[in-house]
Structure 1
């Protein structure tokens, strides 16, 4: 079991207002995968650079996929570049992975019995493990969840509990990437509004 999988289960299991956006969650999942690879000694950080080690001996399919996608020759990829590249579409990939293993189901809605509802984690040991980590406010999982918009504890409080500088580096990069994503959204919103105003004036 991995932090990335636990994060995905927590995201599905925890009501959030507003709902968690796929972009933020994908960036957090990419950070979780990087931390999982560090735990497996498949990567280490040299400052901000992701330096590959030996491929993990075991692990879930997506973790092996993440390891195989590492840049294995210098100049190595930065943590930030990894988050943006690996994070593209990662929420959908992790959801599909959970569904393929029966860890997530889509119950039918009452009003439209032929239409599946939102995905819900099934009662499995994977769900129990993720719930236990979440309930204990385990700093790595909670820090990644906070970056994705899950939970209420400020990220600074969580980072202060961590002693591993490399993990702190990854968490900080995830939070910076999420803030950059929000800034891009706001800028596009302003540009779209300005474009609409031009057409109204014509």
Structure 2
């Protein structure tokens, strides 16, 4: 399992205080993919630019897909641009992939991330791995979850990623992108309310 799939499973937890927006989650999933690609040495960071590394199969269809769509020659893509491009509808892609793998099933007590259909995570080695990383407060997973509003509850301190400069860079950009998306939502909400008031009249 990848960090992105572990994050998706954590986001599917039916607890009411863990509601996650599709856009926020998609951005964080793109960040998780990039961190896994860096860990696998498939790519590296040169400042904020993503440069290609070793070309090898990554034993995960979505991660292989992510590596395949990265720029292989200069000018290289910036981390921020990658998050917005790769993140488009990425949460839905992970939902479909986990359903196809039998990791998600329809159920009454599950979570509905997109649309009315409720899904729940099937008890499996993949789920147990994700929960193990979560309960151990694995720094990268904890930081990605926090970026989309999922807190572990065990500690209010930020995860310590001082020894992983590349992951720290990616996580900082993920946080900025999520905040930018929230600002766009708020602006649209204000504009919608103002438009409604115009039609409503004095």
Q: TM-score, normalised by structure 2?
A: 0.90
Per-residue CA deviation, residues 93-141 of structure 1 (Å, 9 max, x unaligned), is 00100010111111257xxxxxx95111111110010000000111100
Q: Distance in 2 between matches of 1:8 and 1:96?
A: 11
Contact preservation (8 Å) 1:14, 1:150:
no
Structure 1 stretches of at least 4 aligned residues deviating more than 6 Å after TM superposition: none
Contact preservation (8 Å) 2:142, 2:159:
no
Which residue of structure 1 lines up, in the alignment, with residue 113 of structure 2?
Answer: none
CA, structure 1 residues 174+160, in 2 after alignment: closer, same or farther (shift >3 Å)?
same
Q: How many residues align?
A: 196
Following superposition of structure 1 onto structure 2, how do residues 22-33 of structure 1 map, counting pairs within 5 Å? Answer: 22-33=22-33
Which residue of structure 2 lines up, in the alignment, with residue 73 of structure 1?
Answer: 73
Q: Distance in 1 between matches of 2:108 and 2:154?
A: 36
CA, structure 1 residues 152+124, in 2 after alignment: closer, same or farther (shift >3 Å)?
closer
Q: Distance in 2 between matches of 1:146 and 1:28?
A: 10
RMSD: 2.1
Q: Distance in 2 between matches of 1:117 and 1:33?
A: 26
Q: Distance in 2 between matches of 1:152 and 1:56?
A: 34
Which residue of structure 1 lines up, in the alignment, with residue 50 of structure 2?
Answer: 50
Which residue of structure 2 lines up, in the alignment, with residue 89 of structure 1?
Answer: 89
SS of 1:107 mapped into structure 2: strand
Following superposition of structure 1 onto structure 2, how do residues 112-123 of structure 1 map, counting pairs within 5 Å? Answer: 118-123=118-123
Which residue of structure 1 lines up, in the alignment, with residue 184 of structure 2?
Answer: 184
SS of 1:17 mapped into structure 2: helix
Unaligned runs of 5+ in 2: 110-115
